[in-house]
Amino acid sequence: MLCLALVPLRHTTVVLLHNMTFHTIKACMMLISCACVCRAAALISRDWVGDAMWALKDCEIALKLEPSLAKAHYRRIQALKALNQMQASCCSRSRPQLPLALHHVASLNTLCHMIWCSCAQTRDHQSNQRRSLGLGHS
């Protein structure tokens, strides 16, 4: 009878330890994500050759660990802008999945507006080129 009484306690302890482990892992993932974003910000500010690419890579790592991390989305757009790849930030991951809190940030709105205008101009230019070559439009 005594052994049976200890079984639930042992399982409860195991469950509690696993819960603590999951919370610790989640906290570590958040710390790594924040470290990546902070380093990305420093790289973008330093602006040495290759820094924007490393900043973009850090943002991608942060977003894999924490997809809703607002600053990672913001820094990713900044890195793409620094790389003159603003069209890449128009792809499916940048704008649609931005956390709602970010849509109120004035500088982000300005960046997003610049990106979308740049993409629209590029699409219009490509469409005009196709028409002038007699390829139709797509």
Give the rounded percent of residues in the chain with a pLDDT score beyond 70: 57
Stretch among 46-55, 78-87, 109-118 having the lowest mean pLDDT: 109-118
pLDDT at residue 79 greater than cutoff 60: yes
**pTM (predicted TM-score):** 0.60
Return the pLDDT at 94.
47
Indicate the pLDDT class of residue 12, thresholds 50, 70 and 90. Answer: confident
Q: What is the CATH number of the domain that holds 128?
A: 1.25.40
Is 51 a member of any domain?
yes
Is 34 a member of any domain?
yes
Alpha-carbon 128 to chain mean position: 33
**Overall residue count recorded for the chain in this entry:** 138
Is 85 a member of any domain?
yes
Place of tokens 């790289």: 43
Provide the number of structural domains found in the chain.
Answer: 1
